[in-house]
Structures are given as C-alpha cells and as structure tokens.
Structure 1
C-alpha cells in the first residue's frame, strides 16, 4: 500500500508532512515567488511600522536555545541528534541560525520538566508552552512582546498559514493587546464530523443516500431491523455509539446541539452549549432509537475503541467520524469484507439550517520567546523554512531527508526545532490532485511529494488495488476531504469562544461537572425521563457551572 500516513500525522499525533550536496538555497528556490516577494501581501497592512524583509542570513551566525520533545519513534542517522540533523544544519547553512537544545525528555515528562524551568526562571530562548504555561510566563514577565516583530517581519506565507487556522488563534496569543507568542496552529477544523454510511446496505434496504436528518433516522431503523448484512441474524445496529457519546458529535450537530463549547447567546454573552434546549431534543431522539433497539444495548459500557472493533466486524452501518476515518477504521472494515461500500456525506440537518462543525481552539500550544533575546524575528526564519519544506517543496530528495527519514517511517519532520500545522492541509492536497484525477493536468512535477503519493494511491485504487481504497476515499474526487472543503466554503464551522486558561472554579469543579454531564446524558439515552435533563441543568449551575459562566463572561467582556 502506498504510504500516505505523513499527511495524517497532524491528526494522529495531536495532543494533538536535502541532501547535503544540494545548494544552500535549494529549499528557497522551490518557491522563488515567496523568497523574492516575501510579505508583499502584508505591506498594505503596515501602519505603525515600516515593512522590513527578514535577514537572508545572520552573519555572524546567531545561536538560539530551545528544548526538545522528541517523537518516540524517531530514528536519527549515525552521528546525528537533536542538535545536529538535517533541519539544524539547514538552518545554520541557509539562515545563520544555530539551534541548541538544552534538554530532551519523553512527551509524558515534558510538561513537568518545563514547569520546573518556568518556576526557576531559567527558560530557553524559545520553546513550546501549554496554554497554562503561556499565561504563567506572561504574568511572570518572562516573555518577549512579539507585536512589532510579527507585524514588521512576518513572511506572507507564514501569515497565510496562521490566518487559515482562524482569527481566534492569534487572538488567543494576544494578551492585554500584545502578541506574546506565535501559535502552534492545529487541524481541529479539518477534523470536523462527517457521516459515513454503508452504501451496500442502503441498496439492500432500498433507501436513498442521506440528505436530511429524517433520512438518517430511517436508515438507522432499517439497518437495525432489516438484516442489511443478509446473514439471517438480528445482529446489526443502526448507528455506532460509545459510552462517552464522542461518536455522536455529528448527530448532535444535526439538531444544532453541541457539547463542551462556550457559545455566544442571544444576549451577546457566553453560554455553555451542553445545557441548551437543543441538546435535550437530540438526546430525546437518541433515547427513541435506543428504546426501539436501533442502538447497541450495551453502548454505555463500551469505549469508542471497542465500538470501532464492532464496526470493523460489520455490525454497524452508520458512523460519524473525522475526515481520516477511511484510512482507519473503514479501510480495515473493507479489508475484512470487500463488499463493505462506505460512502461519506456532509452532516445532515433536521431543518433548513446547516449543521455546524464544532471545534476547540485550533492550536497545539504556543511558541514563546524569552524576554530580551537579541533576535526574536529568527523564529519567523525558522517557520519560513518549515513552511517551504513541509508545504511547498517539490523535490523528492528534500522530502526523503527532511520528512521521511533514514528508516522510511516519515518522522524526520519532527526534527525541526519549530513547527506548526496547516489548518486545511489535507483539503489543499485533495484540491491539488483533483485536476490530475480528472485528466485536466498531467505534469506531476507541479505536485509536492506527498501529493504525488496521494495521486498514486488513488490511481492504484482505480486500477483495482483495494488496499488504497482509504486514500482514495479521503483525497479522491468525492472523498471526505471534499466534504470538509464544502464546510470551509460555506463557513460551516463553530468555534469555542472561550480560549483562555481554566478559570478558578473550572480548576476546582470542571471534572466533576463533566462526569455529571456524561452520566446524565447516558442515562437519558438509556431511557431515563427527559425531565432529567432539566434537573441536570440546575445541578450543573448549582455545583459550579453558574460561577464558571460568570468567570468566563468576565474574561469575555475584557477580551471584547
């Protein structure tokens, strides 16, 4: 099977894709329009500062210290380590930036180790901080104000990629009107819920593909009662559901109900989404499905991983999940049963309003800079190199050394001392290969290596290789990436409006409130009176939710 996992790494690792003999300008020459017209698109936005081009190369070289959170599966070439590898050598050769890692620890130890460094005030020149650490560092006066640096020097390409993540991302890095970090942008928007349905079962029960929530309900009933797998047994459920109801996110969206978000209400204040009336309606629908035997009667005892095992085994025909589900677990479902014909669809709505895709703040952390270092703008040089190699490079040689690595495991990208993810990278890859799949383009040199791999996978599937079905079903012409592209074009995303650190009462009460929420919702689905939802709302408010709402809105008023 063609390896297309590099493109999925942002999904799978979120917590949460140059040979030395090449010219030192090899990477920049891949995108000369960026190298030569850096920031051209931003010049019109400069008001208080005069636009300045980033230094091509620091001479004499500068040194920046950082710390390393290594990829557990990463293998260095002989003689290489976190301080000497393709990325650090290229930064020094092309930009005159020497990066020294002060220490390296496994992921599970990183936060604690960094907390100790922050407490002592002995921090490196730049590093990745959690939201809580970011706030602590700011309040301790340890961070460099990046406002002028960013507006003066940011390369157009870097700004574009950060802006794609959503305006709330930069707002979250801005404290008291000052930009105090560069956000490590994430792919939470791209992970929006999609409806997956067994099309072969649809044919068996003689129902059309789903366009509305009413269609979904009819399909769920038919899949649970009409023996869609044709084995003569009553052993199928209509829709996959797990004990935490995480796989119900897309279903909830169809009723305009959302979990664990802070949304702007009709009064202009923030309100907690899980306690709104729309959630009661959606839970009532799930309860009706449960009573009718259309859901797994033991779902409340099964984590999502266990329910996925049953999906792979062919016991469920409807599954709400993210864009990458065709790679796993749907590819495994098809491997076991080649007749399993999964189709992907936008989230249906119960009315004429589109179902929105909920997501948390689209960041994985914050790149912070120690106050007083001479060249904070060097972070932008490093992000420019990352962006060029990760998203604009067309060279197979560069790709193999900087992205894939010596063992072919596609982990070399993690050697970069700084990184961020392009919010819709998979959608962009789908759009890039679409003209080639349609036969409108033929020069594969126009594609990046990742895109060439994806195109190759789709073509192999079309030529009969079912092992590449998952790749085609994600990045192909009508795959799941095209659905997310549709969400994007319709601005169909719903972001969490609270993106600060936990409030005092959240620290004290949030976990118990979350347990109360999931326990109540699960028991309602299992048949408890719907009036229990109203009791839950009152309990939630009395047990800390009302105070949390007050604290959240105090923060929101200041942000506005």
Structure 2
C-alpha cells in the first residue's frame, strides 16, 4: 500500500486541530447512554458456553444479542492515559471491566499493545501501514476511509442486521442525520460509528456566581460584559482576601480553540461568528477554511487586547495545568462545555462555596453561534478476515444496555475507569441526549413527574442533587453531575441562532503531505498575535501564505471529493 510518508503526522495534527481526539477522552457523562425505562431485550438470555466450532450450527437459529453462545477471543489495542494507576493485581488486559464483559458476552479481549496519546497514534498508523491489525479497533474518519479503500476491514452489514439489539438500531435510526450512512461505503456498513452529542459542541462561559454577587455585577451576555467582568475580577478583590491575586479569564496553552475543549477561547471565536479549523461554505457555496476568515482575525484581536490588558491569565501560555488556578481559588471565568463541572471537581472540593454558573455569550448582533459536531468522528471497525465480526455487535449491545439499565454487578465497577478500561468504548447515544436528560430531571424536581419515572442514571443524579440541597452529605462527588445537567443542560436547550457544520472531516492527498506544516504555521501565528509578538495585521500575511503553501490545492481537492459523493 503506497502512502505519503508524511501522512501519519498530518493526520495526527488534523486530529489535534479538531475534535477527533476528543471522543476517546470524553468524561463519563458525555459517553453515558440516554437512560430510560427500556426493558425489551435485557432479560437474561445467556446460554452455557460451548465449543467454538458449534457456531456454525447456530447460523439460522435465534440469536442472543447480548451473549455469544461460544467463547470468542478478540484482539484490540488501547489508548490509555499516561501514568495510569491500576488496582493491585489488575492490568490493561485483565481487570474488573474485561472480566465483566467476558462473563456477560463470552468475549475474551486480548490487548495486542497499548500506548498513550501521540505514541498511541503513531503505533496505530504503523499497524495500519504494515497491515498488522488487531481484530477490532476504534479509528478516526480519515483512517476509517483509508482502511475501507484498501479492503482491510470487514463488511458488517449482515452481522449488524442479525445481532444488533432493538435499542441499538433505534438509537442509530432516530439520529436523524444518517449516522449509519456515514459509515456505509458502496452500500456496505463498514463500521459502527459513534454518535456525536449536540450539546458537547456549545462553548459556554462558566463564571463564579458568588464573585458576581459579591461585586454586585450582572451576569454576562456579550463580549463587552465579559471584558468588564474580567476587569472587575482582576481589580476589585472578588475573593475578599485583600490581595490583587485573581485573574479574569483562564486560558489553555495547548490550543486556542477546540470543539468541546475546556479553558480555551472557542466561546470568544463563536461570539465573533468565527469558526477556526472548520471547513465551511461561504455565501457563494464555495469551501473556505474558517481559520483564514476575517471573523477569525477579529476574534484574535479581541483575545490579544484582553491578554495585553491583563484580563486573561498572564501565565496561560506557560501554565501546564489551567485547573490549578481554579483549585487555588484565583480564577473567576473559563470557557467550556456543559459537562465542565466534572473537570473542576477538585476546585469545588477546595472551596465548596464556589458557585459556578454557565452563560451563553452573544455576538454583536445578539445572536448565539456555535459549531456543531460532525455526525460521527470515530468508528469501530473489524479486521478483514476476523472469524467472528458479530462479536463487536454483541459487545456494543451490552455496552449500551449497561448504560441504560445497569445491574448490581455493573454498578460495582469503578465509574471513573469506564472509558479507560472498557475494552472498546464508543459513544452511542441520542444526539439530543443532554436536553432529554435535563428535561427529565426538571420534570421531577418541579413535581410534574414521579422520581420513580427516572432512569437509573438520572435517579442517581436526582439523589445527588437532594443530598447537596439538604446538606445531608457533603460529598463533593455529588456536585458535578446534577450541576452539569441542571445548569449546563439548561443552557444547551436554548435556541442557537447559527449552527455551522464542518463540511469535510476526512483527508485529501495534499493534506496528507502538508497538513502538519500548515497547522503548525497556523498555531504559531495565532499564538504570536495573541501574545503581541507580531501585529494583528500579520493575519493577512498568514492567509496569503496559507493558500500559497498548499491551502488552495487542498480546498480544490475537498470540493472535488464533496462533488463526487
């Protein structure tokens, strides 16, 4: 198989630029499946394990969508957090989660190898290039399409039709955006795709409400309000300690923008109707790159002005962990998604009086803007020639049912390790899951529905909310989930005036060769502008050079590919 030698690096950089890295790292809350009273298929249909050779005799028999009638070994690879600490006696391959899923599904997961972050990406690309693949793995869209093009993965059409649970089919079919079609090539289903959660796209401003109250400030609505509040947080001693030791807005040295990112400035870009990193259509229907548009220049100018005025954490370009400022009680605002409370639990643990509330920030015309997640960003694929492709369908069925109606055995698993140690973790949920869960919880809190109508997941969050309100238990772990759903969830139910979708999420030949260089050029230019190292008008030179160094060719290739679909 021939490919550019720079392809791996380019794809890895593109993933970093956009959202594709994020799904595997999403906190538990975003990956949990929409809960509800679904009982249709979760009966115990388990059959006694039989010799693997017996599988041929069951082809025309009714199947159990949650358990194979014979033991199957399936090799996988894992992306694990660096410095991961496991319980004594557990390994990446043998732990409480792999044991649980073996018991439930009859699938024994064998981990061929594991690595972290960039090392994982490099090893995965090398495995694909060498055609030394595990039996199943989760990949991003460029790699998925490459694997399909070179006939390295199995057609799942038949096993999906035969083994997929009613619930799995229901969620995929009700997505309303052709999710399965996105994983279908030449009429064949070549993967199980994730379903992106709409709510994850919206960047909102999380603010210390207690600081606003202490300084008698109104909640923010516009960027002018954000700037004014940041100034007050820096100058007016919002924590009341008599020192000027607080910052207005936190930042992130890793990226200035990232969909579903935290501590970055995605919300400021949205408030300028700017969408850096996005392939979008202009008024004439032509493809343009959001990072080269005038609105992005305006947003960078605002961020630069705030940084120069000391309204943004002056050390954000060098700060390793932005959360440290919150834990120390020194930061009053940050941009992040609805699920940010899970990310800042340590800060609330240090200061239980910290009252974080989210707000949408409008543009100059009073409009609320957001980019929307791609329909799918990740794909669960099966190696071509694997004898039991139905195993991934059975596993997905069980993963889904566990999230909706967890049994006592599942509830004993460590919820903080679900994404890390589940053999293959893929988000399959209703696209509007967060809004549904918010409305479900509010109905009960307002007395319009019985608590017994809640799903197991939401019943847990309801009980956490009651404990916090009644102060019967001061457990900080009770804070994050209900806070995220009741406040972040309320924000995402608001009507957005402008929702912009990425028009292209794959790769072109020139992107494989040049994207790494182009993205590095963009990132360095943007940071230099924000830090005041070069003038804002250097943006115009960047745009010209970006087109000359390959951007013009890439856009032509994207338009050609889109025209051929």
TM-score of Structure 1 vs Structure 2, range by shorter chain: 0.7 to 0.9
Aligned to 1:267: 284
- Residues of 2 paired with 1:412 and 1:190: CA distance? 17
Q: CA–CA distance in 2 between the matches of 1:339 and 1:219?
A: 20
1:248 corresponds to 2:268: no
Contact 1:237-1:294 at 8 Å conserved across structures: yes
Distance in 2 (alpha carbons) for counterparts of 1:69 and 1:291? 45
Bigger CA drift: 116-125 or 183-192? Answer: 116-125
Aligned to 1:175: 185
Please give the per-residue CA displacement for 1:380-438, whole angstroms capped at 9, x wherever unaligned. Answer: 343223222222x154x14325xx16xx7654994456754425555544443333333
1:218 to 228, 243, 259: 228
In structure 1, distance between residues paired with 2:70 and 2:352: 57
Match of 2:550 among 540, 544, 547: 544
1:511 aligns with 2:516: yes
Q: 1:76 to 1:316 in 2, by over 3 A?
A: closer
**3-state SS of paired residue (1:106):** strand
Q: Is contact 2:98–2:423 with CA below 8 Å preserved after alignment? A: no
Contact 1:199 / 1:341 at 8 angstroms: preserved in 2?
yes
* Corresponding residue to 1:88 among 102, 115, 118: 102
- For residues 150 and 236 of structure 2, the distance between their equivalents in structure 1, rounded to whole angstroms, comes to 64
Relative to 1, partners in 2 of residues 1:362 and 1:220: Cα closer, same or farther, differing over 3 Å?
farther
**Residue 310 in structure 1 maps to residue 325 in structure 2:** yes
**1:238 and 1:317 in contact (8 A); partners too:** yes
> How much does 1:266 deviate?
1.8
- Shift in CA distance, 160/206, structure 1 to aligned 2, threshold 3 Å: same
How far apart are the structure 1 equivalents of 2:163 and 2:61?
6
Residues 1:284 and 2:301 are matched in the alignment: yes
- Provide the aligned C-alpha RMSD in A: 4.0
Whole-angstrom distance in 2 between the partners of 1:30 and 1:333: 35
Match of residue 7 from structure 2:
none
Cα distance change, pair 346–69 in 1 and its aligned pair in 2 (3 A): same
Work out whether residues 65 and 102 of structure 1, in 8 Å CA contact, stay in contact via their aligned partners in 2: yes
Aligned in 2, Cα 1:383/1:53: closer, same or farther, shift over 3 Å? farther
CA distance in 2, matches of 1:328, 1:103: 29
Task: Please show how residues 408-419 of structure 1 align to structure 2 within 5 Å.
Answer: 410-411=417-418, 414-415=421-422, 419=426
**Gap change, CA 1:269 and 1:252, over 3 Å in 2:** same
CA–CA distance in 2 between the matches of 1:332 and 1:291?
29
| Aligned match of 1:474 | 484
TM-superposed CA distance for 1:321, in Å, is: 1.0
Distance change in 2, residues 1:412/1:447 (3 Å):
farther
SS in structure 2 at match of 1:552: helix
* Aligned counterpart, 2:561: 555
Q: Which has the higher contact order (CA 8 A, sep 6+)?
A: 2
Name the residue aligned to 1:522. Answer: 527
Contact 1:67–1:104 (Cα < 8 Å) also in 2: yes
Matches for 1:112-151 after TM superposition, within 5 Å: 118=128, 123=133, 126-147=136-157, 150=160
Measured after TM superposition, the shift of residue 10 of structure 1 is 6.1
The Cα of 1:274 is off from its aligned counterpart by: 0.9
1:66–1:127 contact (8 Å) kept in structure 2: no
Deviations 1:350-396 (A, max 9, x none): 213322145456433332353585x75564343223222222x154x
Contact 1:154 1:380 in 2 (8 A): yes
How far did 1:250 drift? Answer: 1.0
SS at match of 2:265: helix
Q: Deviations over 1:109-150 (max 9, x none)?
A: 766666666556565654434444433432232333345665
Q: Give 4+ residue runs of structure 1 displaced > 6 Å after superposition.
A: 13-16, 57-60, 76-80
Residue 294 (str. 1) matches residue 301 (str. 2): no
- Distance in 2 between the 1:436 and 1:9 partners? 32
Between the aligned partners of 2:68 and 2:329, the Cα distance in structure 1 is: 63
Structure 2: gaps (5+ residues): 1-22, 44-59, 258-263
Q: CA deviation at 1:230?
A: 3.5
Counterpart for residue 401 of structure 2: 388
Q: Deviations over 1:228-247 (max 9, x none)?
A: 33444443332222333241
Quote how far apart the aligned CAs of 1:334 are. 3.5
1:454 to 457, 461, 466: 461
Residue number in structure 1 paired with 2:46: none
Taking a change above 3 Å as real, the CA distance of residues 218 and 415 of structure 1, as seen in their structure-2 partners, is closer
Is the contact made by 2:504 and 2:558 (CA closer than 8 Å) also made in structure 1? Answer: yes
Distance 1:314 1:126, change over 3 A: closer
When the two structures are superposed, what TM-score results if normalisation uses the length of structure 1? 0.76
Where does residue 367 of structure 2 map in the other structure? Answer: 353
Q: Deviations over 1:537-558 (max 9, x none)?
A: 1111112222222222222222
**2: distance between equivalents of 1:117 and 1:335?**
43
Note if contact 2:272-2:364 (Cα within 8 Å) is conserved in structure 1: yes
1:31 corresponds to which of 38, 49, 53: 38
Higher helix share: 1
Residue 438, structure 1, aligned to residue 449, structure 2:
no
Distance 1:248 1:116 in 2: 34
In structure 1, distance between residues paired with 2:61 and 2:361: 45
Q: How far 1:460 moved relative to its partner?
A: 1.3
Task: Provide the secondary structure at the position in 2 that maps to 1:497.
Answer: coil
Q: Does the 8 Å contact 2:74/2:109 carry over to 1?
A: yes
Does the C-alpha gap of structure 1 residues 532 and 443 become closer, same or farther in structure 2, counting only changes over 3 Å?
closer
Pairing partner for 2:358 from 344, 349, 354: 344
Normalised by the length of structure 2, the TM-score is 0.76
Residues 89-104 of structure 1 correspond to what in structure 2 (within 5 A)? 89-92=103-106, 99-101=107-109, 103-104=111-112
Q: Distance in 1 between the 2:174 and 2:204 partners?
A: 21
